[in-house]
Amino acid sequence: MTKQAALASSGTARKVSSKQLREIIDAYSMLLPTILGVLIFFAIPLAISLYLSFTNARISTPVSAATFVGLTNYGNVFKDSNFYLALRNTLIFSAATLVLSILPAVVLAVLLNEKIRGQAFFRALFFIPVVASVVAISLLWRYLLNLDFGFVNYAMSLVGLPRIPWLTSPDWALLSVILVFSWKTVGYNMVIFLAGLQGISRQLYEAASIDGATRWQQFTRITMPMLSPTTFFILITTLINCLQIFDVPYALGYGRSTTIGPADSMLTVVPLLYREGFISDHMGYASSLAWVLFIMIMGITFLQFRISNRWVNYE
Amino acid sequence: MTGQVLQRPFERWLAYAFLLIAGLIMTFPFIYMILASLKTSSEVVQVPPRLLPETLQLGNYLEVINIVPLGTQLVNTVIVTAGVVLGWVITSVLAGYAFARLNFPGRDLLFFLYLGTLMVPFAVIIVPMFKIMVAFGWVNKLTALIVPWIFTAYGTFLLRQFFMGIPKDLEEAAMIDGASRWGILFRVVMPLARPAMATLATFGFLYAWNSFLWPLIIISDPSRKVVSQGLIDLQALYAVRVDLIMAGSVLAVLPTLVVFLFAQRYFIEGVATTGLAGR
């Protein structure tokens, strides 16, 4: 309490009344669990993580026993062919997922926003994959995409298409990760788009149709610009999530060996980090990988904000 | 329901057809999963596949609960999820209220610092978090899956926004009657915040139920694992028993579907209004 009182008096020059003091004490007692939690489980780990990235830390040795190795780990990241493979896979995955989880979401949201029966029903239907366990649906898709007995290849054979080695060929494996993740995410994006659409005033469309605008013109001149803040939000959050993807490639791609997908074709940055840190026991190296990823995410997000004022339309 | 109106019946039918096909793509895999979980191990890999099982193999569920042990792991997941959800709601209500209504030095700075934590990927703190769990002796304990994860900047933000929207008059009236800040929070504000708390709880539920990377690192004892890990073990050990893998997957998905069915409004409103998932 004395510490809080001291904080209060240093923060405000004027004399603190007992009522104000009471409020400060209440506030800090309400925040106490959060402050302690963030310190122990976030702030301190963050600092240790930065430190470890300059050491040769191991699983079994305590943090204090790690030897300082300078920038070696960071140098190794950029010499590691696995890192470039993971980076390439992560970027391809992210770019493709942006398209495949956002475009269908816009179309579905626009359709649902019409005066259509069963809007709530369809909305709930599309949301089911969002709430389902990621590992469970990944295993489900492992079954559906199986080369020999999977339903997808069977359905394709019915319309005369060839069988595809979705999960067993390095050429197709990453596409499978993209399809499964997009399938899971599209309903989530759709709900956000639908909320954005419902915020657009109906009068805009009425005025436009009186002026003789076609449906397509209404979409490109009203819907698209009015929806751009929503689109921007979804782009930012989807990309941040994609760059950190772990569970779908891991659950779809792990097998008897430690590779993620055939010839590591599903390996993205976070699974690589997990493998380096917790299987190969290179914790220092894993920490430096994490910081490279962090800086990359910050950089890409910053870039998106810089570009956004060219196309995002705030009222 | 704003937006353009589909006047021509042809357009209307086209829209329905498209929505139905999309709905089928989203839900058919789940139906196929349930049907597969009720087939024999040879039926499930039969080519060409038959949709319906010859006879219902309900025994698959019993078998899967015993071999992995998925039953224990489901109980673990329920305990972890309940703990995380409860923790999320308690810490977020307290911190959210302090940030929304109380005047204290450092308020805005603390709030923005807390929001800033959302920018940092989980992968960055994963190695030191493991070291801290070792130091605490929490490796292979469910505590490690609960306690570190009950603090959420997202939830605090959500409830702060909600509390700021409640008229101050109510609190002032209670204050004049001599109620303390804590009394006001518990008796006046929290009853009003039920919808926001429900939204937060649904996100906490999804977050905890589906967590995977962290349990993978911290739990190796099969009787302490959560259901996501159990499924991975099932796939690793019994890859040929697709019937069992599907039964296990149904067990992992079913609780979330039931919760979604009952709390649908909170899920969808939560996503729509905040546009953020609890990650």
Q: What is the value of ipTM here, to two decimals? A: 0.91
Q: Touching check for A215 and chain B: CB below 8 Å?
A: yes
Instruction: Please compute the mean of the pLDDT values over residues B139-153 and round it to a whole number.
Output: 97
**Could you tell me if A297 lies within 8 Å of chain B, comparing CB atoms?**
yes
- Residue B177 pLDDT > 50: yes
Lowest mean pLDDT among A239-243, B100-104, B169-173, B181-185: B169-173
**Is the model's pLDDT at A125 over the cut of 60?**
yes
- Other Cβ atoms less than 10 A from the Cβ of A1: the count is 10
Task: Decide if A127 and B267 are in contact by the 8 Å CB cutoff.
Answer: yes
Question: Tokens 């319309």 sit at which residue?
Answer: A159
What are the backbone angles phi and psi of residue B97, rounded to the nearest 5°?
-70, -45
**Interchain proximity B252–A33, CB inside 8 Å:** no
Q: Higher model confidence: residue B97 or residue A201?
A: B97
Q: What is the mean pLDDT of residues A73-100?
A: 97
Over residues A213-241, the pLDDT tens digits come to: 988 899 999 999 999 988 998 999 899 99
Distance (Å) from the alpha carbon of A171 to chain B's nearest alpha carbon: 23
Q: Residue B131's pLDDT is what?
A: 95
Q: What integer pLDDT is reported at residue B279 of this predicted model? A: 29
Predicted pLDDT at A64: 87
Does position B248 have pLDDT exceeding 50, yes or no? yes
What percent of chain B is predicted at pLDDT more than 90? 74
- Which residue would you say has higher pLDDT here, A310 or A256? A310
Taking contacts as CB-CB distances below 8 angstroms, the residues of chain B near A198 are 1-3
Contact yes or no for A290 and B124 at CB 8 A: yes
Residue pair B137/A49 in contact by the 8 Å Cβ criterion: no
Nearest CA in chain B to A213: B4
Q: What Rg do the C-alpha atoms of chain B give, in angstroms?
A: 23
Q: To the nearest whole percent, how much of chain A has pLDDT over 70? A: 95
Cβ(B2)–Cβ(B212) below 8 Å: no
Give the C-alpha separation, B60 to A38, whole Å: 44
Which residue in B has a C-alpha nearest to residue A109's C-alpha? B19
> How is residue A65 annotated by DSSP?
G
pLDDT at A17: 86
Residues of B in contact with A298 (CB under 8 A): 119
Q: What percent of chain A has pLDDT over 90?
A: 75
Task: Tell me the average pLDDT across A132-156.
Answer: 96
pLDDT of residue B1: 39
Please provide the DSSP assignment of chain B as one string. --S----SHHHHHHHHHHHHHHHHHHHHHHHHHHHHTTS-TTGGG-SS--SS-SS--THHHHHHHHHS-HHHHHHHHHHHHHHHHHHHHHHHHHHHHHHHH---TTHHHHHHHHHHGGGS-HHHHHHHHHHHHHHHT-TTSTHHHHGGGS--HHHHHHHHHHHHTS-HHHHHHHHHTT--HHHHIIIIIHHHTHHHHHHHHHHHHHHHHH--HHHHHH---TTT--HHHHHHHHHHH-TT-HHHHHHHHHHHHHHHHHHHHHHHHHHHHHHHHH-----
Residue B224 has pLDDT above 60, yes or no: yes
Q: What is the mean pLDDT of residues A52-70?
A: 92
What is the DSSP code string of A225-278? HHHHHHHHHHHHHHHHHHHT--HHHHHHHB-SSS-BSGGGTT--HHHHHHIIII
pLDDT over 50 (residue A130) = yes
Give the angle B103-B107-B111 at the CA atoms, nearest 5°. 140
Confidence bin at B278 (pLDDT 50/70/90) = very low
Quick one: pLDDT at residue B182?
93
Taking CB atoms and an 8 Å limit, are B29 and A108 in contact across chains? no
Beta bridge partners of A260: A254
Which residues, numbered 96 to 125 in chain B, qualify as contacts with chain A under a Cβ-Cβ cut-off of 8 Å?
97-98, 102-107, 110, 114, 117, 119-125
* B chain contacts of residue A205, beta-carbon cutoff 8 Å: 2-4
Q: Mean pLDDT throughout A142-158? A: 95
Residue type, A124: A
Whether A137 shows a pLDDT value over 80: the answer reads: yes
Q: At A150, is the pLDDT very low, low, confident or very high (cuts 50, 70, 90)? A: very high
Q: How far, in Å, CA of A261 to CA of B224, rounded?
A: 27
Query: Which residues in A lie closer than 8 A to residue B227 (C-beta atoms)?
Result: 133
Q: Please check whether residue A48 is in contact with residue A291, taking contact to mean a CB–CB distance below 8 angstroms.
A: no
Answer yes or no: is pLDDT of B143 > 50: yes
- Give pLDDT, residue A49: 97
Q: Which amino acid appears at position A267 of this protein? A: L
Average pLDDT estimate for B152-161: 91
Q: Which domains does chain B have, with CATH numbers?
A: 58-274 (1.10.3720.10)
Q: Residue written as tokens 């060839």? A: A162
CA distances from A35 to B115, B162, B203 (A): 13, 21, 22
pLDDT for res A208 = 92
How many CA atoms lie less than 13 Å away from B110 in the CB half-sphere? 20
Structure tokens at A207: 């005025």
Residue A14 predicted with pLDDT over 60: no
Q: Give the model confidence (pLDDT) of B22-53 as tens digits.
A: 999 999 999 999 999 999 999 999 989 999 99
Residue B2, pLDDT above cutoff 70 = no
CB contact under 8 A, B253 and A133: yes
Residue of B nearest to A111 (CA): B15
User: Does the structure show a pLDDT above 60 at B4?
Assistant: no
* Cis bond upstream, residue B69 (ω within 30): yes
Question: pLDDT tens digits, residue range B85-141?
Answer: 999 999 999 999 999 999 999 999 999 999 999 889 999 999 999 999 999 999 999
Beta-bridge mates of residue A254? A260
Q: How far is B62 from chain A (nearest CA, A)?
A: 18
Asked if A168 is an interface residue toward chain B (Cβ–Cβ < 8 A), one would say: no
CB-hemisphere CA count at 13 Å for B208? 32
* Cα–Cα dist B109/A275, whole Å: 37
What chain A holds in terms of domains, given with CATH numbers, is: 2-52 (no CATH), 74-311 (1.10.3720.10)
pLDDT at A4: 53
pLDDT, residue B277, reads 36
